[in-house]
Structure 1
């Protein structure tokens, strides 16, 4: 018996921009066709998903921490704490500096953002600070990661003139990113496309569809091909 599964969600028109965000990838891709994909921006260090998970680890949250940051962020004030946005030329991303600033912020129990003098909190003070401010910390961390992503995406849309914009990858399940893309799209006149939650993780449909388009394009690989987790086009 052969089963066919159709995804009836609205689809962007070629060319469109795709922000691919996961634990291993952070890329802006110009998609001209299923087989003509051009990366125009990518992370130079950590991926966005790593930034979420590593920040969660610093907070003492279990792995995977990204969904937990999203959960607590819904209850917090994203303007409570201010974290720096990295200055990276072009359309590339960087998250390692943000991760370091969050680490120092928590080591100082937030005092480094309030006072100029040197201060190092004890383990007990740090944990007390996290426990009392967890929702606001998560909301502030998430807000900065999302602003980094959307600021670069907005720049890419301006440079390319493309107005069909979509997101993909595990981090596209983040409620803050989904809401932020919708709001930014309305502000700048984009057509935005956000996948259903079940398509925001590694899944058989994703692999099968890629294989289908490669088969149509007669793009075959030899049996000795080597796999890579950070493929580029």
Structure 2
């Protein structure tokens, strides 16, 4: 089966082709430079950028892979959650292709696609425990199969990725700043008492990072010298000041890692028969998160499955792979399926050929 994947859920425009579970080509256009001026994603600008570049990316992918459109068996598109305007660009493009070619279209849950993405390079065994850590979501799932995800814990307010973005913004780091929080935090050891580990004194598997964001904001307000000037990282900075900032960032990384460790460990204790721990999403690229999850998996004697760094951020390869997994089971949508913005549950309303 050959599946075309289309990704436009936020600020990355992507198209990819997956044949029988293996990636054969992809194209990605980033909007980082466009949004950096504003310190974050501007939804209307993101939508317009998708509209501008998506057709050209699609044509370039088809030409580069030397395939005829008639060879494609499924068109998979991220239907949500995400920015509604951005999603609509991809969904309507996919529907237009389907209508023009009579190839069945399939709306894919963007979050599930993240957790399935390691399957492009590794063998996934089910049931697995899945931790999705991204800018908008921090969720724990029991994954019984590519079409069966049971939500065990979720973000109650701010996700881990939002806390990373806010921390970077408080320090005037250039956008996107989460990578810099990880990079500079790795230069020092954490003060494990600097920030409280949030929302762990309970029995549930949910997450809340709003309190941690507040603690970081208070610390920066009390130490304004930690902020950089003009969103430009200094090349030669006073060592004591940079060390103090890096200790704060290391402590923040540690606190997020401890939160994830407690909740994932609790989930592994409560769920029997788990064959692997899958960690995915943009924050899964964080070095502390990867180490903490490796320790957690080792403690429970299950393999840790991580996507390569290039598949942690939004991409079309994961959409194409998720579409392949569902498509080979006979699932598809008619042209009435909707884009689902963040805050709403993406329904499993597929039709089936079987």
**Alignment TM class, shorter chain as reference:** 0.7 to 0.9
Shift of 1:130: 5.9
For 2:324 and 2:275, the matched residues in 1 are separated by: 27
The number of residues matched between the two structures is 219
Higher strand content, 1 or 2: 2
Match of 2:326 among 208, 214, 217: 214
Shift of 1:80: 5.8
- Partner Cα distance (2:226, 2:133) in 1: 34
Instruction: Please list the CA deviations of residues 58-115 of structure 1 after superposition, one character each: whole Å capped at 9, or x if unmatched.
Output: 1221111110001001101112652112235400000001100111122122xxxxxx
1:108-147 to 2 correspondence within 5 Å? 108-109=222-223, 123=224, 131-147=242-258
- Are residues 1:98 and 2:209 paired? no
Moved more, 207-216 or 60-69: 207-216
CA RMSD in angstroms comes to: 2.4
Would you say 1:13 and 2:125 are equivalent positions? yes
| Corresponding residue for residue 227 of structure 1 | 339
SS of the equivalent of 1:32 reads strand
Q: TM-score, normalised by structure 1?
A: 0.84
Distance across 1 between alignment mates of 2:313 and 2:192 = 31
**1:168 paired residue number:** 280
3-state SS of the aligned residue for 1:20? strand
Which whole-Å CA distance do the structure 1 matches of 2:227 and 2:136 have between them? 30
How far apart, in 2, do the equivalents of 1:147 and 1:46 lie?
16
Q: Kindly tell me: are residues 76 and 28 of structure 1, through their superposed partners in 2, closer, same or farther at Cα, counting changes over 3 Å?
A: same
The one of 198, 208, 211 aligned to 1:86? 198
Q: Alignment partner for residue 47 of structure 1, among 138, 149, 159?
A: 159
Which residue matches 1:158?
Answer: 269
Provide the TM-score with structure 2 as the length reference: 0.57
In structure 2, the CA distance between the partners of 1:125 and 1:208, relative to structure 1 (3 Å rule), is closer
Deviates more, 1:65-74 or 1:223-232: 223-232
Q: Which runs of 5+ in 2 are unaligned?
A: 1-16, 24-118, 229-237, 348-354
* Structure 1: gaps spanning 5 or more residues: 110-122
DSSP-derived class of the 2:132 partner: strand
Name the counterpart of 2:139: 27
Residues in 2 aligned to 1:193 and 1:158: alpha-carbon distance in whole angstroms: 18
Determine the C-alpha separation between the residues in 1 that align with 2:226 and 2:293: 37
Q: What SS class does the counterpart of residue 84 from structure 1 fall into? A: coil
Q: CA deviation at 1:34?
A: 0.5
In the alignment, the residues of structure 1 paired with residue 226 and residue 341 of structure 2 have an alpha-carbon distance, to the nearest angstrom, of 40
CA contact (8 A) 1:35 1:217 kept: no
**1:119 aligned residue:** none
